C-alpha cells in the first residue's frame, strides 16, 4: 500500500467513526501510537493523517493532550445549489442556469465555449511554471494597475489592431464584467441614461439595474447599431454612456462596418457620449473588424476585455484601456472597492498567452467554430428556424423561430428535458425578440439537443 493510501485509510477510519457517532464531538482520539498499532501502520502515517484532519477542521489539537473531534459541526446541505426553476426567465436566471448546470447538461444557450475547447494544456504548463517562480509572484499583491508585463503584452496586441495605447493606459481587473462595472461606477449617477443595443448581452441589463440607471436601447442591424435611431436616442435621452460589443456582437454575431463606426463616433463627439466597447471575443475573429477604440484613439471610447472566452473561465482577469487620467482614477476606484488585483491570475494569463502554442490553439478553435457554425445553422434550418445572419466568426447564431413561436415557453419546455436555451427576450430591452433564440454553436455538437428541440417545436 502506498504511503498516500495508508494516510487516506487512517483518515477514513476516523471519519467513519465520527459519521457513525462512535466518536462524538469532544471525544479524544486514540493516541498516535495506539492508532498506529491498531491499524498496523507507522506512527508518521497517523501523524500525517491527524494533521490533515485537523487542517480540514474535522478534529482539533489541544497542546499536550492530543486530538479531539471538533464540533459542533453545522449540518451540510446535501443537494448543492440546484437550479431555481421557479424564477422568471430574466437575465440573472439565464446566467445562473449556465453557471449552475452540471458538466453533463446540454447548454446550447450558454455564452461560452465548452471546457474541452479551452486552452487547458497551456494553463497546465503555466501552473507548473508558476509553481517554480519567485516568492513575490506567489504571495504579494499586484501593483495598482496590475501585472506590468501583461499590460505591455495587451498594449502590443492592441497596437496590432491599430489601437495605439501605452501600458499605463491599461488597468487590469477581475473580469470583463468587473471592467464595465468600474466604468459605470466611475461615470454614472443613479437615474442616468445608458444606451445599449437591442438585442445585447443579457448581463448588461442586470448590470445597469444594479447601478439603478435607465437603459435605452437602439436596434442592432447587421452592420452595427441603427444610426438614425441612435441619433434620435441621443436627442431624446442625452445618455452618458453607450455600451456595446463591436468585434463579434453578442447575441447576433454581427460585425460593425467602418461606415457605421465612423458615424457613431461622430454622433458621440457631438453629444459628449462615452462609449464602452466590450472586446472579449477578439481572439475568435478571423478578419479584424473595425474597433471604435481604434478609430477614436481611446479619447471617448473605453475598451474592455477578458480572457475567459479563450484562455480559461476559471481564471478571473479582465482589463480596461482608457484615457491615461481615467485609468488612474479607475485604479483608485478599484483599490477602494476591491483592493489589490489578482497578480497570480494575471500571471497565469500572461504565461498562457505567450506560450508558443496559444496562436495555434486559437487557429484550431476558429476553424472548429466555423465548422460548427455551418453544421448548426443547417440543423436549425432543417427544424424551420431562420438565422438572422450567418456570422463571419464567433460562437453565436441568432435564430428566429417559425411562425412567431414563443421562445421563452420553448426554453421552459426544453429545460425539463435538460436542455438550457437562451430565449431572445433576455437580450432585448424592448422585448421585441420573443421569437428568437441565441445558439452557441460550440455547445451544439450533441444530436440530443436537436431531438429535444424538434419535440418541443412540435408540441
Q: Which is nearer to a copy of itself, 171 or 254 (CB)?
A: 171
Q: Which of 359, 300, 324 is nearest to 151 (CA)?
A: 324
SS3 content of the chain, % helix, strand, coil (to 5): 50, 15, 40
What does the alpha-carbon distance between residue 35 and residue 455 come to, in Å, rounded to a whole number? 60
DSSP for residue 315:
S
In this structure, the dihedral spanned by the alpha carbons of residues 398, 404, 405 and 407, taken in order and rounded to 10 degrees, is 40
Q: Does 140 bind a copy of itself (CB under 8 A)?
A: yes
Q: Does 157 bind a copy of itself (CB under 8 A)?
A: yes
Q: Which is nearer to a copy of itself, 357 or 402 (CB)?
A: 357
Show the beta-strand stretches assigned E in 239-382. Answer: 241-245, 274-278, 301-306, 318-321
Residues 38-57, interacting with a copy of itself (CB under 8 A): 48, 51-52, 54-57
Residue span 194-223 as binding mask against a copy of itself, x where in contact by CB under 8 A, dash where not: ---------x--xx-xx-------------
Provide the grid cell at 64.
Answer: 499536550
DSSP for residue 140:
S
User: Which residue bears the cell 487590469?
Assistant: 172
What does the alpha-carbon distance between residue 189 and residue 178 come to, in Å, rounded to a whole number? 17
To the nearest whole angstrom, how small is the minimum distance from the Cβ of residue 311 to a copy of itself? 9
Q: Which is nearer to a copy of itself, 136 or 378 (CB)?
A: 136
Segment contacting a copy of itself by CB under 8 A, of 26-34, 130-138, 250-258, 397-405: 130-138
Show the beta-strand stretches assigned E in 41-148. Answer: 59-62, 66-69
Residue span 159-198 as binding mask against a copy of itself, x where in contact by CB under 8 A, dash where not: xx---xxxxx-----xxxxx--x---x----x--------
To the nearest whole angstrom, how small is the minimum distance from the Cβ of residue 392 to a copy of itself? 17
Show the beta-strand stretches assigned E in 110-173. Answer: 170-173
Residue of the chain from 344, 393, 395, 419 that contacts a copy of itself (CB under 8 A):
344
To the nearest whole angstrom, how small is the minimum distance from the Cβ of residue 198 to a copy of itself? 19
What does the alpha-carbon distance between residue 186 and residue 287 come to, in Å, rounded to a whole number? 33
Provide the grid cell at 135.
Answer: 516568492
Q: Does 13 bind a copy of itself (CB under 8 A)?
A: no
Size of the site for a copy of itself (CB under 8 A): 107
Give the CA count within 13 Å in the CB-facing half-sphere of 264. 35
What does the alpha-carbon distance between residue 50 and residue 61 come to, in Å, rounded to a whole number? 9
Helix 324-338 crosses helix 176-187 at what angle (to 10 degrees)?
110
DSSP for residue 175:
-
What does the alpha-carbon distance between residue 331 and residue 319 come to, in Å, rounded to a whole number? 11
Q: Which is nearer to a copy of itself, 52 or 229 (CB)?
A: 52
Q: Does 353 bind a copy of itself (CB under 8 A)?
A: yes
To the nearest whole angstrom, how small is the minimum distance from the Cβ of residue 340 to a copy of itself? 6
Residue of the chain from 15, 66, 144, 323 that contacts a copy of itself (CB under 8 A):
144
Q: Which is nearer to a copy of itself, 327 or 400 (CB)?
A: 327
To the nearest whole angstrom, how small is the minimum distance from the Cβ of residue 91 to a copy of itself? 8
Q: Which of 262, 349, 277 is nearest to 312 (CA)?
A: 349
Residues 225-264, interacting with a copy of itself (CB under 8 A): none
Q: Which is nearer to a copy of itself, 104 or 458 (CB)?
A: 104
**Are residues 220 and 199 in contact, defined by beta-carbon separation less than 8 angstroms?**
yes
Q: Which is nearer to a copy of itself, 188 or 218 (CB)?
A: 188
To the nearest whole angstrom, how small is the minimum distance from the Cβ of residue 294 to a copy of itself? 12
Q: Does 115 bind a copy of itself (CB under 8 A)?
A: yes
To the nearest whole angstrom, how small is the minimum distance from the Cβ of residue 53 to a copy of itself? 9
Q: Which is nearer to a copy of itself, 91 or 424 (CB)?
A: 91
Q: Which is nearer to a copy of itself, 51 or 417 (CB)?
A: 51
Residue of the chain from 135, 287, 378, 404 that contacts a copy of itself (CB under 8 A):
135
To the nearest whole angstrom, how small is the minimum distance from the Cβ of residue 80 to a copy of itself? 6
Q: Which is nearer to a copy of itself, 149 or 236 (CB)?
A: 149
To the nearest whole angstrom, how small is the minimum distance from the Cβ of residue 362 to a copy of itself? 10
Residues 307-326, interacting with a copy of itself (CB under 8 A): 308, 312-316
| R_g over Cα of the chain | 26
Q: Which is nearer to a copy of itself, 137 or 406 (CB)?
A: 137
User: Which residue bears the cell 463616433?
Assistant: 265
Beta bridge partners of 68: 28, 60
**Are residues 175 and 308 in contact, defined by beta-carbon separation less than 8 angstroms?**
yes
Residue of the chain from 36, 58, 284, 437 that contacts a copy of itself (CB under 8 A):
58
Residue of the chain from 9, 39, 95, 231 that contacts a copy of itself (CB under 8 A):
95
**Are residues 242 and 203 in contact, defined by beta-carbon separation less than 8 angstroms?**
no
**Are residues 419 and 108 in contact, defined by beta-carbon separation less than 8 angstroms?**
yes
Amino acid at each position: 500500500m502506498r504511503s498516500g493510501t495508508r494516510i487516506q485509510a487512517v483518515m477514513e477510519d476516523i471519519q467513519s467513526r465520527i459519521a457513525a457517532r462512535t466518536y462524538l464531538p469532544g471525544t479524544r482520539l486514540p493516541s498516535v501510537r495506539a492508532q498506529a498499532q491498531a491499524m498496523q501502520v507507522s506512527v508518521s502515517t497517523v501523524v500525517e493523517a491527524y494533521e490533515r484532519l485537523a487542517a480540514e477542521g474535522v478534529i482539533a489539537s489541544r497542546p499536550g493532550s492530543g486530538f479531539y473531534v471538533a464540533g459542533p459541526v453545522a449540518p451540510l446541505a446535501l443537494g448543492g445549489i440546484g437550479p431555481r426553476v421557479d424564477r422568471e426567465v430574466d437575465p440573472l436566471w439565464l446566467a445562473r442556469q449556465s453557471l449552475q448546470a452540471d458538466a453533463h447538461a446540454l447548454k446550447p444557450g450558454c455564452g461560452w465555449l465548452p471546457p474541452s475547447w479551452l486552452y487547458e494544456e497551456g494553463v497546465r504548463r503555466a501552473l507548473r511554471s508558476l509553481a517554480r517562480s519567485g516568492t513575490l509572484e506567489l504571495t504579494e499583491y499586484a501593483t495598482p494597475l496590475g501585472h506590468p508585463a501583461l499590460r505591455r503584452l495587451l498594449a502590443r496586441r492592441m497596437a496590432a489592431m491599430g489601437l495605439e495605447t501605452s501600458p499605463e493606459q491599461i488597468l487590469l481587473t477581475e473580469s470583463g464584467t468587473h471592467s464595465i462595472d468600474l466604468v459605470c461606477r466611475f461615470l454614472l449617477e443613479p437615474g442616468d441614461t445608458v444606451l445599449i443595443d437591442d438585442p445585447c448581452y443579457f448581463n448588461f441589463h442586470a448590470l445597469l439595474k444594479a447601478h439603478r440607471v435607465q437603459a435605452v436601447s437602439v436596434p442592432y442591424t447587421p452592420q452595427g447599431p441603427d444610426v438614425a435611431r441612435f441619433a434620435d436616442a441621443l436627442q431624446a435621452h442625452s445618455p452618458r454612456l453607450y455600451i456595446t460589443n463591436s468585434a463579434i456582437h453578442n447575441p447576433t454575431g454581427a460585425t460593425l462596418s467602418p461606415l457605421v463606426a465612423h458615424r457613431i463616433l461622430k454622433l458621440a463627439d457631438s453629444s459628449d457620449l462615452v462609449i464602452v466597447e466590450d472586446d472579449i471575443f477578439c481572439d475568435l475573429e478571423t478578419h479584424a473588424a473595425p474597433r471604435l477604440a481604434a478609430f477614436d484613439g481611446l479619447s471617448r471610447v473605453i475598451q474592455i476585455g477578458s480572457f475567459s472566452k479563450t484562455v480559461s473561465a476559471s481564471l478571473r482577469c479582465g482589463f480596461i484601456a482608457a484615457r491615461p487620467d481615467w485609468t488612474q482614477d479607475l485604479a483608485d476606484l478599484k483599490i477602494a472597492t476591491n483592493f489589490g488585483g489578482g497578480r497570480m491570475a494575471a500571471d497565469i494569463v500572461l504565461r498562457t498567452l505567450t506560450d508558443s502554442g496559444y496562436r495555434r490553439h486559437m487557429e484550431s478553435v476558429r476553424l472548429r467554430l466555423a465548422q460548427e457554425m455551418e453544421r448548426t445553422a443547417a440543423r436549425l434550418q432543417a427544424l424551420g428556424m431562420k438565422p438572422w445572419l450567418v456570422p463571419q466568426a464567433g460562437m453565436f447564431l441568432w435564430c428566429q423561430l417559425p411562425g412567431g413561436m414563443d421562445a421563452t415557453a420553448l426554453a421552459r419546455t426544453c429545460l425539463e428535458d435538460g436542455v438550457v436555451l437562451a430565449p431572445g427576450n433576455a437580450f432585448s430591452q424592448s422585448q421585441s425578440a420573443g421569437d428568437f433564440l441565441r445558439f452557441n454553436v460550440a455547445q451544439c455538437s450533441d444530436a440530443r439537443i436537436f431531438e429535444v428541440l424538434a419535440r418541443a417545436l412540435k408540441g
